[in-house]
Amino acid sequence: MRKICQTKDILLPYIQQSEYSIKHVYETCQGDMTRFRWDNIVWHRLSIPQTRFILWMVMNDVLKIKVKLRKIGSVSDDLCTLCGLRAETVDHLFFQCVFSKSCLELLKAWLNIRCNIGILSKLDSRKWGVNKATKGAVIATLACLAYQVWKSRNEAVWMGYVRPAHTVVDHIKFDVRTRLKALDAAVMLAD
């Protein structure tokens, strides 16, 4: 009840205005946030379709991770399957896990990227400092990384082992190269 009264007090000045706008109230409640369109990254044409779907699930927080599974009683612990150090949340698995960070560092070296980008935390490609041609390859690589981290997590849950980071990165490199070559061949056939 207290929250409702607080909300009413916040919204009262807007309701009393002669030109009431839901959009204006919403923007005021959101605060000063720069709009970021992550859908352009998720559905980028260079990304592999299966990686797009997993990336979409990550961005919408619908993956069945251990924290959620523990709440419904499906698992007994909520520790990260890949590192075992912290609770397995989307934030941990894709941004903070030692495994995903080591994969990302290997990929950054492969792509010759020196800036500090996270797997998904800095999908704002305007801040990467790369040209337009490289941007597509980076997007495809990050989407593939998210997919491979999720795949590695599931292998650890169901098969009981975690692939080494360099093996995962080798798979990512192969998948991204194959995708880019296939698209180049398709463009040449279209010409």
Distance, CA of 51 to CA of 41 (rounded, Å): 11
Compute CA distances 48 → 43, 105, 161, whole Å.
Answer: 9, 21, 25
Residues 82 and 24 in one domain: no
Residues 109 and 61 in one domain: yes
How many domains does the structure of the chain reveal?
2
- Residue 191's pLDDT is 47
Max intra-chain CA distance, the chain: 65
Residues 55 and 21 in one domain: no
Residues 96 and 14 in one domain: no
Residues 142 and 170 in one domain: yes
Tell me the residue range of the domain where 12 lies: 1-33
Residues 137-189 pLDDT 10s: 888 898 999 999 999 999 998 999 999 999 999 999 999 999 988 877 665 55
Q: 132 or 167, which is more confident?
A: 167
- Tell whether pTM > 0.85: no
Indicate the average pLDDT of the chain.
80
Residues 95 and 5 in one domain: no
Residues 41-57 pLDDT 10s: 788 888 888 999 998 98
Residues 93 and 181 in one domain: yes
